[in-house]
Amino acid sequence: MMYKSSLAAAVLAATIPLSQAADLPVNPPVFEPPAPAPVVYDWTGFYAGFHGGYGLGTTDLSITGFSTDYDLDGWLGGIQAGYNHQWDSWLLGVEADIALTGIDGSYSDTGAFDARATTDVNWLSTLRGRAGWVNGRFMPFVTGGIAFADVDHRITAGGATGPVSTSDVLFGWTVGGGIEAMIDQSWSAKVDYLYVDLEDVDFTGPGDSGTFENSLHLIRLGVNYQF
């Protein structure tokens, strides 16, 4: 009889923790939302926008028995439009732009030249191909093509060469690179650099003849809208 009582006490003692455990609160499973899918930016299509920046350059002036060069600098601002086509991470495109500029410079002395020469770049346009590599929202690229610029050259009277005045739309070439980044699915921002080399301008003055040669370095910031 005592054996049965001991067994019953042991069973009762074993069941008490189980019943107490059943009364303990159960923590619900923690819900973890799925990670958002990465945004995929599609660069294919037409775009247009505007840009602004600064230009630096040089005019080389050569006259029989005399040569010099002088610096050019000034602001620029304009518009651009183009088309991109993307294959996986690679992109090919074409872009055209035109800008008004305040790029100018001058040179004067009272020695061998004894006159004042000036250069004014009134507007500048390029037509370029672009090749880029797409990495998420970023697209570094290289670019190159043809350039056109309306440039005035003048030599004032005073020396044996002057006066001279030319106003020409000059043809040339350009090469450069930059990086563009998508702000959202419609807008992008870019920064680029272009080197521009323009054709020579030959002139004949009352006393002599010579050549103007112009080259430019352009740094530009721009914004594009993707259609």
| pLDDT for the residue 161 | 75
Going from N- to C-terminal start, the domains of the chain cover 53-226
Q: What is the mean pLDDT of the chain?
A: 88
Q: Which residue has the higher pLDDT, 189 or 7?
A: 189
| pLDDT for the residue 113 | 83
Largest interatomic CA distance in the chain? 142
The neighbouring-strand residues paired with 227 are none
Structure-token pair, residue 94: 């074409």
Q: Are 83 and 96 in contact (CB under 8 A)?
A: no
| pLDDT for the residue 17 | 52
Tens-digit pLDDT profile for residues 191-211: 999 999 999 999 987 778 899
Residue 181: which residues within 8 A CB-CB, separation 6 or more? Answer: 137, 138, 139, 188, 189, 190
Give the range with max mean pLDDT: 4-13, 18-27, 106-115, 174-183: 174-183
Does residue 107 surpass a pLDDT of 90?
yes
DSSP 157: B
Predicted confidence band at 8 (pLDDT cuts at 50, 70, 90)?
Answer: very low
3-state secondary structure 72-140: EEEEEEEEEEEEEEEECCEEEEEEEEEEEEEEEEEEEECCCCCEEEEEEEEEEEEEEEEEEECECCEEE
Tens-digit pLDDT profile for residues 119-167: 999 999 999 999 999 998 999 999 999 999 999 999 987 777 778 999 9
**CATH of range 53-226; options 2.40.160, 2.30.29, 1.10.3470, 3.40.720:** 2.40.160
Does residue 47 surpass a pLDDT of 90?
yes
**Percent of the chain having pLDDT more than 70?**
84
